[in-house]
């Protein structure tokens, strides 16, 4: 064939295969057999391989994934992706309806849709061509996952019209795909995904798009966030329009004339949800009239014209087979229920936390008991109660041990605490858990050094403390199971990169008692160097607004230990940074910041930035943002509908600003 004939054939095959894919993945109406589709796809990919310059952007070959990415770029959302308020019963739905009617002055119709349990994404098209896809992120900034989204067959790479449009949707993993994925992981001895939502999110955040392509993900588009050149007046009309463009929508949506119809719709899906091939965790209710949506507007966190009805947690019965004991990094011994495997809210549950000995006594748990379990928020398994009427007499009492299950040291209960604690600082379990904490995302964030690898390194005696991580050598890593040349090289590089982390990451990673990530940030910002913090007295520490007596005592006690001094020196010797690299408090003072050194409370809804954004800006300028008003509060910033905090501030004669004044002082 000459070049023109090749181009015609590539165009013909691309259009034909895209049409077949649309009918198969979106309309669920296959036109041809899988074998015929695969044969045509193979023919197209061979032509594209020989003529790469003729490959179209919407080629089905894009679905198989491309080269591995170095990282995900940040994406600023043109229209924020806000979360929804929740309703948990019929009365709360009626309250939502009442607020809507008060805001508009009349009754309105509602559009109801299944709330898919997946990952919210935004898809941007220019002239009908898919140009960018991103995660929700924090609602304002997400991650560019375009390459991974292209692997989802139900996302059109080119629309049926040359539309400039941005849509929002929920990417998800069907139940069957989730089961297959976890079966494969179990066979390879890998950690299983907890639920389809985590699996979908994990798949779309893979740097290798080929992995995402193998995960059989799907999507339902649920709204238009931006559209040029066309007027649409209702939400259900927008769903019909995106369907005509080639997007997959959920056909179970319904327009209801009254809130009673909405409640009936929600209740009807309580039973039917188990029969769906995908997970849902509620119903989304939106005002159908788009002009009314604009009139109702938004709060700081969510639209006033929509809410999510959340299903009550599903409860099932199973058997308590055993109670295992786990020792955490602080020495706390936590009991875990080992259960007969049972399906709950779409996943197989085998374990549930029992928190502490008091809870076991309170629920009167015995080994062999029939128990009711549920997932709190459809996520965390918990034992609800014991079915004592089903006891046979063969059940056995359980008692917490007197000695640590890992190191045999005597357990202690500190006054005022419910937990039993191992006080041996050389307890292997505490060391192992401390290492896992050190490498975690909010701490040193060492990519590729997860729980399994830490356990392996610890078991082989390659690491005994956190300093040993920075002494690992390529040769000794290569001797370990499932550690190939490429993965070892990546791990060594990832470890090396984290030597440059700012001080607050190291402080949090050290696992000082009572010091969370926020306190670590505050300490690093105040003292600036590890040496200065090591020399701090209790008086120095409690002079900082966010540091109380208990935390100050824990910090001084920690740094007084000779083994801690030795560890920090070891870390410094291998090149780990000991200096704070973020915005410094003195910078704010030098700028004569009106926030520097003040304790500030934010309340009410903000029009131009949400409270989290305002908090970050104020803290960069030396302010300390807290959650409650007291005599120690210097300033209250009140947005719309400020309530009890504003009243209390007025009673205490605290200075009060509105949002406009705050923005002016922040520099606009």
Backbone angles phi, psi at 463, to 5 degrees: -135, 135
Which of these three, 364, 390, 416, is where a domain ends?
Answer: 390
Q: Residues 433, 448: one domain?
A: yes
Which pLDDT value is given to residue 588?
46
Q: Residues 118, 211: one domain?
A: yes
The answer to the question of residue 334 being in a domain is: yes
Q: Residues 298, 157: one domain?
A: yes
The average pLDDT across 70-79 equals: 85
Q: Residues 544, 590: one domain?
A: no
The answer to the question of residue 180 being in a domain is: yes
The answer to the question of residue 79 being in a domain is: no
- The range of the structural domain enclosing residue 462 comes to 428-500
If one compares 498 and 448, the residue with the highest pLDDT of the two is 498
Residue 50 has pLDDT above 80, yes or no: yes
Q: Residues 511, 445: one domain?
A: no
Q: Residues 240, 129: one domain?
A: yes
For the stretch 314-346, pLDDT in tens is: 778 999 999 999 998 888 998 999 999 987 766
Burial class (CB in 10 A: 0-12, 13-18, 19+), 225: middle
The answer to the question of residue 20 being in a domain is: yes
For the stretch 17-35, pLDDT in tens is: 888 888 887 777 888 887 8
Q: Residues 280, 359: one domain?
A: no
| pTM listed for this prediction | 0.54
Report the CATH number at residue 131: 3.30.470.30
Report the CATH number at residue 518: 1.10.150.20
Residue from 49, 73, 74, 115 carrying the catalytic annotation: 115
Report the CATH number at residue 632: 3.40.50.10190
Which pLDDT value is given to residue 66?
61
Which of these three, 281, 310, 339, is where a domain ends?
Answer: 310
Q: Residues 636, 515: one domain?
A: no
Helices 3-21, 34-50: axis angle to 10 degrees equals: 150
Q: Residues 268, 169: one domain?
A: yes
Distances from the Cα of 397 to the Cα of 158, 320, 324, 356, angstroms: 64, 12, 14, 15
Minimal CA–CA distance to 158: which of 57, 24, 264, 276? 57
Among 129-138, 277-286, 381-390, 584-593, the range scoring the smallest mean pLDDT is 584-593
The average pLDDT across 390-395 equals: 94
Percent of the chain residues past pLDDT 90, beyond the cut: 50
For the stretch 136-160, pLDDT in tens is: 987 888 899 999 999 999 999 999 9
Calculate ∠ Cα 523-524-530, nearest 5°.
105
| Beta-ladder partners of 314 | none
Residue 589: pLDDT band with limits 50, 70, 90: very low
DSSP 380: E
The answer to the question of residue 72 being in a domain is: no
Which pLDDT value is given to residue 641?
76
Residue 572 has pLDDT above 90, yes or no: yes
* pLDDT, averaged across the chain: 88
The answer to the question of residue 305 being in a domain is: yes
Structure token digits, residue 620: 């960069």
The average pLDDT across 358-384 equals: 83
Q: Residues 59, 129: one domain?
A: no
Residue 472 has pLDDT above 70, yes or no: yes
Percent of the chain residues past pLDDT 70, beyond the cut: 95
Q: Residues 257, 368: one domain?
A: no
Report the CATH number at residue 376: 2.40.50.140
Residue 254: pLDDT band with limits 50, 70, 90: very high
| Beta-ladder partners of 287 | 110
Structure token digits, residue 305: 């014209």
Residue 441 has pLDDT above 70, yes or no: yes
Domain count, the chain: 6
The answer to the question of residue 25 being in a domain is: yes
Whether the Cβ atoms of residue 623 and residue 666 lie closer than 8 Å to each other = no
What region does 164 belong to: left with phi over 0, alpha with psi -120 to 50, or beta? beta
The average pLDDT across 248-275 equals: 92
Which pLDDT value is given to residue 555?
95
* Residue 518 CA to its chain's centroid (Å): 18
Q: Would you call 210 a catalytic residue per the annotation?
A: no
DSSP 192: P
Residue 667 has pLDDT above 50, yes or no: yes
For the stretch 6-17, pLDDT in tens is: 888 988 999 898
Report the CATH number at residue 23: 1.10.287.610
Residue 590 has pLDDT above 60, yes or no: no
The answer to the question of residue 70 being in a domain is: no
Which of these three, 276, 310, 344, is where a domain ends?
Answer: 310
Minimal CA–CA distance to 144: which of 153, 154, 134? 134
Q: Residues 239, 154: one domain?
A: yes
């Amino acid at each position: 064939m000459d070049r023109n004939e090749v181009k015609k054939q590539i165009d013909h095959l691309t259009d034909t295969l895209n049409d077949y894919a649309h009918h198969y993945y979106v309309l669920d109406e296959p036109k041809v057999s899988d074998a015929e589709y695969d044969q045509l796809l193979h023919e197209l990919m061979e032509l594209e391989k020989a003529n790469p310059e003729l490959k179209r952007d919407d080629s089905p070959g894009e679905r198989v994934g491309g080269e591995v990415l170095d990282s995900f770029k940040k994406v600023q959302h043109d229209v924020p992706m806000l979360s929804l308020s929740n309703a948990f019963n019929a009365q709360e739905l009626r309250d939502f309806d009442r607020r809507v009617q008060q805001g508009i002055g009349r009754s309105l119709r509602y559009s109801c849709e299944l709330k898919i349990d997946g990952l919210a994404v935004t898809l941007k098209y220019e002239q009908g061509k898919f140009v960018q896809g991103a995660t929700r992120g924090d609602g304002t900034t997400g991650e560019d996952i375009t390459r991974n989204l292209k692997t989802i067959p139900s996302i059109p790479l080119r629309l049926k019209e040359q539309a400039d449009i941005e849509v929002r949707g929920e990417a998800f993993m069907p139940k069957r795909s989730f089961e297959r994925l976890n079966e494969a992981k179990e066979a390879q001895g890998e950690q299983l995904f907890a639920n389809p939502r985590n699996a979908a999110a994990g798949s779309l955040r893979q740097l290798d798009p080929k992995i995402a392509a193998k995960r059989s993900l799907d999507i339902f588009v649920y709204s238009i966030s931006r559209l040029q050149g066309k007027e649409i007046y209702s939400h259900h009309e927008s769903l019909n329009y995106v369907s005509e463009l080639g997007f997959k929508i959920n056909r179970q949506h319904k327009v209801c004339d009254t809130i009673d119809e909405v409640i009936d719709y929600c209740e009807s899906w309580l039973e039917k949800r188990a029969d769906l091939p995908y997970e849902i965790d509620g119903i989304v209710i939106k005002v159908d009239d788009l002009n009314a949506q604009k009139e109702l507007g938004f709060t700081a966190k969510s639209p006033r014209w929509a809410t999510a009805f959340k299903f009550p947690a599903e409860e099932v019965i199973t058997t308590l087979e055993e109670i295992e004991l786990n020792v955490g990094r602080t020495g706390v011994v936590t009991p875990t229920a080992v259960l007969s495997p049972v399906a709950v809210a779409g996943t197989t549950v085998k374990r549930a936390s029992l928190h502490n000995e008091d809870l076991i006594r309170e629920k009167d748990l015995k080994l062999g008991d029939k128990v009711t379990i549920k997932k709190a928020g459809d996520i965390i398994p918990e034992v609800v109660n014991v079915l004592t009427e089903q006891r046979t007499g063969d059940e056995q009492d359980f008692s917490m041990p007197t000695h640590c299950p890992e190191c045999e040291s005597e357990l202690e209960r500190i006054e005022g605490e419910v937990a039993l604690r191992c006080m041996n600082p050389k307890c292997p379990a505490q060391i192992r858990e401390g290492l896992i904490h050190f490498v975690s995302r909010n701490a040193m964030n060492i990519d590729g050094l997860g729980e399994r690898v830490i356990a392996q390194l610890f078991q082989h005696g390659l690491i005994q403390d956190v300093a040993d991580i920075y002494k690992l050598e390529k040769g000794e890593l290569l001797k370990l199971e499932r550690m190939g040349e490429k993965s070892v090289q990546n791990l060594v590089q990832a470890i090396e990169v984290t030597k440059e982390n700012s001080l607050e990451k190291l402080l949090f990673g050290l696992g000082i008692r009572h010091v969370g990530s926020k306190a670590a940030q505050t300490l690093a910002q105040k003292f600036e160097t590890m040496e200065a913090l090591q020399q701090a007295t209790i008086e120095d520490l409690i002079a900082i607004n966010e540091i109380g007596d208990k935390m100050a005592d824990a910090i001084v006690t920690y740094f007084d230990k000779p083994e801690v001094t030795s560890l920090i020196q070891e870390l410094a010797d291998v090149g780990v940074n000991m200096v704070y690299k973020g915005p410094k408090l003195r910078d704010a003072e030098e700028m004569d910041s009106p926030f520097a050194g003040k304790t500030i409370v934010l309340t009410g809804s903000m029009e131009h930035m949400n409270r989290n954004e305002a908090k970050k800006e104020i803290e960069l300028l030396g302010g300390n943002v807290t959650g409650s008003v007291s005599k120690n509060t210097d300033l209250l910033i009140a947005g719309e509908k400020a309530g009890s905090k504003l009243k209390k501030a007025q009673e205490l004669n605290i200075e009060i600003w509105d949002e406009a004044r705050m923005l002016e002082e922040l520099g606009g």
